[in-house]
Amino acid sequence: VKAQSPCGNPVTDDVNDITKLVGNLPNDYRITLRHVRKMDTLPNHCWLHLMVPEFSKSLHNLLQKFSDMSDVLSNYSIINNLTRIINDIMSCLDSEKNKNFRKENVHLYEEDKFIPEEFFRRFNSTIEAYKDFAETSDHSDCVLPSTTGTPENNPRVSVTKPFLLPPVAASSLRNDSSDSNSNNKIFPALDFTSSPSLKGISIALPSLFSLLIGFTLGAICWKVRNIKLTWLGRDRLHFIPKQTSILILKTRGISFEPR
Whether 76 has a pLDDT exceeding 60, the answer reads yes
Return the closest-CA partner of residue 111 out of 57, 156, 48, 160.
Answer: 156
Asked if the structure places residue 146 within a domain, the reply is: no
CA distance 58 to 53: 9
Asked if the structure places residue 141 within a domain, the reply is: no
Q: Please report the pLDDT score of residue 102 as a whole number.
A: 84
Q: Please report the pLDDT score of residue 15 as a whole number.
A: 92
Q: Which of 135, 166, 199 is the last residue of a domain?
A: 135
Q: What is the maximum alpha-carbon separation in the chain?
A: 158
Asked if the structure places residue 3 within a domain, the reply is: no
**43-73 pLDDT, tens per residue?**
888 899 999 999 999 999 999 988 876 566 7
Asked if the structure places residue 17 within a domain, the reply is: yes
Amino acid symbol at 148: T
CB 45 within 8 A of CB 93: yes
Which string of b and e fits 200-221 if b means at least 16 CB within 10 Å?
A: eeeeeeeeeeeeeeeeeeeeee
Q: Residues 191, 125: one domain? A: no
pTM listed for this prediction: 0.53
Q: Please report the pLDDT score of residue 223 as a whole number.
A: 79
For 253, half-sphere exposure in the C-beta direction (CA atoms, 13 angstrom radius) is 0
What is the number of structural domains in the chain?
A: 2
**155-182 pLDDT, tens per residue?**
444 344 444 444 444 444 344 444 444 4
Q: Residues 19, 118: one domain? A: yes
Whether 17 has a pLDDT exceeding 90, the answer reads yes
Query: Range of 230's domain?
Result: 182-251
CATH number at residue 82: 1.20.1250.10
Asked if the structure places residue 258 within a domain, the reply is: no
CA distance 122 to 62: 15
Q: Please report the pLDDT score of residue 44 as a whole number.
A: 87
Q: Residues 96, 200: one domain? A: no
